[in-house]
């Protein structure tokens, strides 16, 4: 049957869900192909199983730890809001947890097969690692699209007036679990990594993943619970919240009669991009380009195909533009150009972060050079690179906000964000590629494979480090844009709520009530209450990062003490006559991660509620939202860029530059890497969902407090 305007608008969301289902089917086919690869020798399988069991045990204990908090919040939402919002919270939380578990399970199956592939050729290792990453990327994005769209359609059938509003509950569930997953997994992986490096590399001169290091298994488990499970939950949350933000803006700003198309459009963009991402994955697996070029080529192919698909979708759904409740109608070309801004911003974020974190360019090599003169100069250079990296990224984000707003107003910014996040399937395939190759290298060393195998995995790991940094830059850039949309949603929703209350105001007090609303919605910088809100919001990312960085430091210190204790108690560990006790280090970081993640994860939620309870809380809260976006964006970019650059500066030296392994420059680079670890894998990426939790909770509590 021919595709008509009416059928696409009416069936836009079901059509996007069908595309999501195609993504799931392709991911399952990739899993089948991946599992058909040999899992290597018995020793390789034993090590991979130990890593998998440690990761599963941690995620199980994490689930128990946060379930009570989740149940309490769901009950409060049911009491203070309504049943659909509470159910949405549960759906978002469960799917975010499922995304994390999926990410971990796929990674532990792919890492040993990547190591086995490296025994044959670099190409086979690349295919195994990227296929594992692609499974995570496609499954998580498809899950986000299917859960959000399916929940929206289900509520629309039962309670149409609650369909859009209840999505905020889903967004909160996804975001809150994502903060827990990012924090808990980040604390776990970096405490183990820092502890293993400080004693193993600096004090004892051991190589990466040397089986004589008692923290080695904990380090490899951490890659899976932090970089894989935490990242997958983060991606699910980012995609779902961006989609919900676009739907909310469309529903609140489009004119009556035009909301169906405005709400369906973001879903259709996401569905089309999943198909484009599948083609990009096929390109990477078939091309003969070098690893870095192949991965970037896959992103380029997916982006071009998405842009080609977005134009007919836009012209079909908005043949005469989009009528708005206020102001002139949006033009068809304006809406399409806003989507192109989002795709361009994806490429810009990737290129900027790649420049500042790849071994091929000046910033990383400057840090490596600075390592020759000591630990302090390495740290100084790394901090400077991270702070410098904020300039081009923030300027481009500003240009993207300006351009998309000029093309199609607030809805245009929402469309740009959704277009940017629609590429998450292929982008996150790159992210998951990193920890898979890292674990593959660990398995190669611990199982005693030939040095040339580790050389292959190290080369892929260096590319993977850059890819992880690139995707974190992409995530924080998209979070900045998404937060702007959510702040716009807060403003529009607050205005709608306050104006609705005018119906109950007596005629004599109507003028005063309208003046009060205008004052509340002004958010003027001349108002000290707004300035106070800006300061509180600006403080949040700093305080949040302080908690998480301190948590990593304390846990890493405990690991260092334990590794030193074991090596001192059993000198035979270093000579190979004694076996390290790996389980003690695993237990230390597991307990630390579960204990330390609670306070920082609940900090943004508690802050928003506390501010909302103040006199003129709505006005102060507006300042809080803006302040958290601004400082959070700068901190997230600086931390992820510094961390990625420090990590690859170490890799660059290990490749034989500036003295090579075990040189004084190498020791300084290891110190920089250990500082950068919690920067890039704990605090930096966790700021992304934290910003959105602040904005989502603010929207959610409008009818409760105001």
pLDDT tens readout for residues 197-226: 888 887 888 877 788 888 888 888 887 787
239, 242, 244, 248 alpha-carbon torsion, rounded to 10°:
-170
Cα 498 to its chain centre, rounded Å, is 34
CB-CB contact of 382 with 652 (8 Å): no
Residue 370 confidence (pLDDT): 96
Nearest Cα to 691, choosing from 639, 628, 636? 628
Mean pLDDT of 13-37: 90
So what's the pLDDT on residue 635? 94
Give me the sign of the Cα torsion angle 299, 300, 304, 305: negative
Which of 298, 306, 400 has the alpha carbon at shortest distance from 345? 400
pLDDT digits (tens, 9 = 90+) for 564-623: 999 999 889 888 888 888 888 888 888 888 888 888 888 999 999 999 999 889 999 999
Average pLDDT, the chain: 88
pLDDT at 10: 55
HEC assignment per residue over 298-327 = HHHHHHHHHHHHHHHHHHHHCECEECECCC
pLDDT by residue (tens digit) across 223-249? 778 777 887 888 888 889 889 989 989
> What Cα–Cα distance (Å) separates residue 580 from each residue in 33, 70, 447, 555, 565?
36, 38, 15, 19, 11
CA nearest neighbour of 161 among 262, 246, 85: 85
Looking at residue 227, what DSSP letter applies? I
Condensed to tens digits (0 to 9), the pLDDT of residues 323-347 reads 998 888 999 999 999 999 999 999 8
User: What is the percent of the chain where pLDDT is above 90?
Assistant: 39
Asked if residue 8 has pLDDT above 70, the reply is: no
Can you give the pLDDT at residue 7?
Answer: 54
Task: Return the closest-CA partner of residue 586 out of 44, 202, 52.
Answer: 52
What is d(CA 562, CA 577) in angstroms, rounded to the nearest whole number?
Answer: 19
461-493: per-residue pLDDT in tens?
878 777 777 787 888 888 888 888 888 888 888
Q: Residue 35's CB: how many other CB atoms inside 10 A?
A: 11
Closest CA to 284 of 273, 271, 294, 299: 294
Write the pLDDT tens digit of every residue in 74-104.
Answer: 999 998 888 999 999 999 999 988 888 887 8
Cα separations in angstroms, 528 against 413, 616, 623: 29, 11, 10
Question: Is the model's pLDDT at 3 over the cut of 70?
Answer: no
> What is the arithmetic mean of pLDDT over 409-428?
91
**HSE of 409, CA atoms in CB hemisphere, 13 A:** 21
Query: How many other C-beta atoms lie within 10 A of the C-beta of residue 39?
Result: 16
- Rg of the chain over all Cα atoms, to the nearest angstrom: 25
- Phi, then psi, of 70 in degrees rounded to 5: -60, -45
**98, 641, 8, 33: which is closest to 316 by C-alpha?**
8
> What per-residue confidence (pLDDT) applies to 279?
95
Residue 379: pLDDT over 80: yes
Q: What is the pLDDT of residue 1?
A: 33
Distance CA 192, CA 588 (A): 9
Q: Of 79-93, 225-239, 265-279, 291-305, which gets the smallest average pLDDT?
A: 225-239
Q: How far apart are CA 457 and CA 596, in angstroms?
A: 33
Binned at pLDDT 50, 70 and 90, residue 2 comes out as very low
pTM of the model: 0.88
Q: What are the tens digits of pLDDT across the range 160-177?
A: 888 888 999 999 999 888
**Using CA atoms, how far apart are residues 364 and 645, in angstroms rounded to an integer?**
5
Strand partners, 324: 254
- C-alpha distances (whole Å) from 155 to each of 6, 88, 163 are 22, 9, 5
């Amino acid at each position: 049957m021919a595709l008509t305007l009416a059928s696409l608008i009416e069936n836009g969301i079901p059509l996007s869900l069908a595309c999501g289902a195609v993504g799931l089917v392709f991911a399952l086919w990739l899993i089948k192909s991946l599992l058909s690869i040999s899992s290597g020798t018995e020793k390789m399988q034993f090590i991979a199983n130990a890593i998998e069991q440690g990761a599963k045990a941690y995620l199980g204990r994490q689930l128990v730890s946060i379930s009570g908090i989740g149940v309490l919040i769901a009950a409060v939402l049911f009491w203070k809001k309504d049943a659909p919002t509470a159910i949405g919270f549960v759906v978002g939380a469960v799917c975010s947890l499922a995304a994390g578990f999926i990410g971990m399970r796929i990674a532990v199956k792919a890492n040993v097969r990547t190591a086995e592939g490296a025994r044959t050729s670099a190409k086979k290792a690349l295919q195994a690692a990227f296929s594992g990453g692609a499974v995570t990327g496609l499954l998580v994005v498809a899950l986000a699209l299917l859960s959000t769209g399916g929940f929206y359609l289900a509520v629309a059938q039962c309670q149409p007036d609650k369909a859009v509003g209840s999505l905020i509950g889903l967004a909160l569930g996804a975001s809150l679990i994502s903060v827990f997953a990012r924090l808990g997994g980040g604390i776990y992986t970096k405490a183990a990594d820092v502890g293993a490096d400080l004693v193993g590399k600096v004090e004892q001169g051991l190589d990466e993943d040397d089986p004589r290091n008692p923290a080695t298994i904990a380090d490899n488990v951490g890659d899976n619970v932090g970089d894989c499970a935490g990242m997958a939950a983060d991606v699910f949350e980012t995609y779902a919240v961006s989609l919900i933000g676009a739907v909310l803006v469309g529903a609140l700003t489009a004119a009556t009669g035009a909301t169906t198309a405005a709400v369906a459009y973001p879903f259709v963009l996401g569905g089309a991009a999943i198909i484009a991402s599948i083609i990009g994955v096929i390109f990477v697996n078939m091309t003969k380009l070098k690893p870095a070029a192949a991965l970037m080529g896959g992103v380029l192919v997916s982006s071009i195909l998405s842009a080609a698909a977005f134009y007919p979708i836009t012209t079909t759904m908005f043949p005469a533009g989009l009528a708005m409740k206020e102001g002139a109608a949006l033009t068809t070309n304006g809406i399409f150009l806003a989507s192109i801004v989002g795709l361009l911003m994806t490429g810009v974020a990737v290129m900027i972060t790649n420049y500042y974190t790849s071994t091929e360019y000046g910033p990383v090599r400057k840090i490596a050079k600075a390592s020759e003169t000591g630990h302090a100069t390495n740290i100084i250079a790394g901090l400077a690179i991270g702070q410098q990296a904020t300039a081009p990224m923030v300027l481009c984000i500003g240009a993207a906000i300006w351009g998309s707003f000029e093309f199609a107003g607030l809805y245009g910014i929402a469309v740009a964000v959704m277009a940017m996040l629609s590429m998450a399937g292929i982008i996150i395939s790159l992210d998951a590629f990193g920890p898979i190759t890292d674990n593959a290298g660990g398995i190669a060393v611990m199982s005693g494979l030939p040095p040339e195998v580790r050389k292959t995995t190290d080369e892929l790991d260096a590319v993977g480090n850059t890819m992880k940094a690139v995707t974190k830059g992409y995530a924080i850039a998209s979070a900045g844009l998404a937060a702007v949309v959510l702040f716009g949603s807060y403003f529009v929703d607050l205005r709608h709520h306050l104006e609705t209350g005018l119906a109950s105001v007596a005629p004599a007090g109507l003028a005063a009530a309208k003046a009060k609303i205008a004052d509340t919605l002004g958010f003027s910088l001349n108002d000290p209450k707004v300035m106070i809100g800006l300061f509180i919001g600006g403080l949040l990312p700093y305080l949040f990062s302080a908690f998480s960085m301190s948590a990593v430091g304390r846990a890493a210190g405990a690991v260092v003490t334990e590794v030193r204790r074991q090596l001192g108690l059993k000198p035979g560990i270093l000579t190979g006559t004694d076996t390290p006790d790996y389980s003690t280090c695993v237990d230390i970081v597991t307990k630390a991660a579960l204990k330390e993640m609670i306070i920082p994860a609940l900090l943004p939620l508690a802050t928003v509620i506390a501010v909302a309870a103040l006199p003129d809380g709505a006005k102060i809260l507006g300042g809080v939202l803006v302040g958290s976006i601004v400082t959070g964006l700068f901190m997230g970019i600086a931390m992820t860029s510094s961390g990625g650059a420090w990590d690859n500066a170490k890799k660059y030296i290990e490749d034989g530059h500036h003295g090579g392994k075990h040189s004084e420059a190498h020791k300084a680079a290891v110190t920089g890497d250990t500082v950068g670890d919690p920067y890039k894998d704990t605090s930096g990426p966790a700021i992304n969902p934290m910003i959105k939790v602040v904005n989502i909770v603010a929207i959610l509590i409008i009818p409760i407090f105001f």
